[in-house]
């Protein structure tokens, strides 16, 4: 009887230790993932969504001198973005690392002939 009790106690202890071990391993992994995600967010990203015939925002803001990964997503029609007074152009579905050192307002236009509203398809990029 005593032997059985001892065995049960050891078994409980093993289970508790295993659970603790598993938990700490899990939280360790989560920490790693968070670190990776934080690292990804540090290189900031700007997603511009284009449709017939507008961009999803009238204005987009980035910081002067900061490299921002600008992605263009066309959800309706095929569009492109050209940032005037810069060499930057972003094709549909592509991401371009944009870094503009001079603050100001830059006009962004669609650079793909996309139909009726093409010529009025524009937004502002504000570099602060």
Give 51 or 86: the residue with its C-beta nearer to Cu ion. 51
Q: Give the shortest CB-112-to-Cu ion separation in angstroms.
A: 5
Which residues are CB-neighbours of 45 under 8 A, at least 6 positions away? 68, 69, 70, 71, 95
In the region spanning residues 59 to 118, those forming contacts with Cu ion, defined by CB under 5 A, are 110, 112, 114, 118
Number of residues that bind Cu ion (CB under 5 A): 4
Task: Report how far residue 25's alpha carbon sits from residue 37's, in angstroms, rounded to the nearest whole number.
Answer: 19
Q: Strand, helix or coil at 5?
A: helix
Whichever of 100 and 121 has its CB closer to Cu ion, that residue is 121
Residue 20: DSSP 8-state = H
Please give the residue ranges that form the binding site for Cu ion (CB under 5 A): 110, 112, 114, 118
């Amino acid at each position: 009887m005593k032997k059985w009790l001892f065995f049960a106690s050891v078994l409980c202890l093993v289970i508790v230790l295993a659970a603790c071990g598993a938990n700490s391993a899990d939280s360790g992994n989560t920490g790693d993932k968070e670190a990776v995600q934080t690292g990804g967010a540090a290189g900031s990203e700007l997603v511009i969504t284009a449709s017939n015939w507008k961009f999803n925002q009238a204005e987009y803001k980035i910081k002067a001198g900061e490299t921002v990964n600008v992605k263009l997503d066309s959800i309706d029609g095929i569009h492109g973005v050209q940032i005037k007074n810069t060499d930057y152009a972003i094709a549909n579905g592509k991401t371009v690392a944009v870094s503009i050192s001079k603050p100001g307002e830059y006009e962004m236009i669609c650079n793909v002939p996309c139909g009726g509203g093409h010529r009025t398809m524009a937004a502002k990029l504000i570099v602060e």
